[in-house]
Amino acid sequence: MDIKKLPGSERPREKLLRLGAGALSDRELLAILLGTGTRELPVLELAEKLLDSDRNGILFLADCVPEELCSISGIGYAKACSIAASIELGKRIAKRPKDGRYIIAYAEQAANLIMEDMRHLKREVFLVILLSSKGEVISFEKVAEGDINTAAVKAREIFQAAVRRNAFSVILAHNHPSGDPEPSRADIETTSRLIEAGELLGIYVADHIIIGNNRYYSFKENKIMQ
């Protein structure tokens, strides 16, 4: 439907101002980001087309890049970049602590910090979270990406940044694109190997977290490691 034909109070921007963003549908929110439609499609229909372009619906946007969006007729680089930027802002806001510091004391906190960045990834990514002696996050380090065989992940790649940044401990993390976070035999063997390597360097491996689709597996919580 053409926005111009809607009553003023029902147009997405006016509705947002009147009721708040939470009252808008996915289509209406996306229409605001798109700003305008095309000669053939009003902006609301263009938003609907974008949502219908993938079977995952709005979740498709979580890990898309501008080039993917531009493959959809009616979406140019300006619109694609606006959408990608808003998604990234949402991710950052969702995980940003109010006091500006990330402190990890247990597995759920670590999983929450990386869940939105990792659960929709189509490729496997291996991260290391560097921690201070107080459990404050020093940095997030990506050490591998692609078709990862965790058994092939090298201790040198894992601990190089930890030594350089004087980290007290690390949390290992990687995702399973299948959505199932249960560890494989290779995951378990790799974790044991990296714990031993960390002990030699004086760096404590606090946990290994596997991210699935809105689920996680903690080696420490499941007593796979002490």
Instruction: For residue 16, give Cα distances in angstroms to 1, 35, 56, 79, 205.
Output: 18, 14, 25, 20, 46
Query: What's the number of CA atoms in the CB half-sphere (13 Å) around residue 81?
Result: 3
Quote the percentage of the chain above a pLDDT of 90: 51
Per residue in 113-140, pLDDT (tens digit) is 999 889 888 889 999 999 999 999 999 9
The length of the chain in residues reads 226
Distance separating alpha carbons of residues 176 and 197, to the nearest angstrom: 24
Per-residue model confidence (pLDDT) at position 81: 93
Q: Tell me the mean pLDDT in the region 85-100.
A: 73
Residue 78 — pLDDT band, cuts 50, 70, 90? Answer: very high
Dump pLDDT digits (tens) for 11-67. Answer: 888 989 989 999 999 999 999 999 888 888 889 999 999 999 888 888 888 878 889
Mean predicted confidence (pLDDT) in 104-109: 91
What is the structure's pLDDT at 114? 92
Helix (H, G, I), strand (E, B) or coil at 80: helix
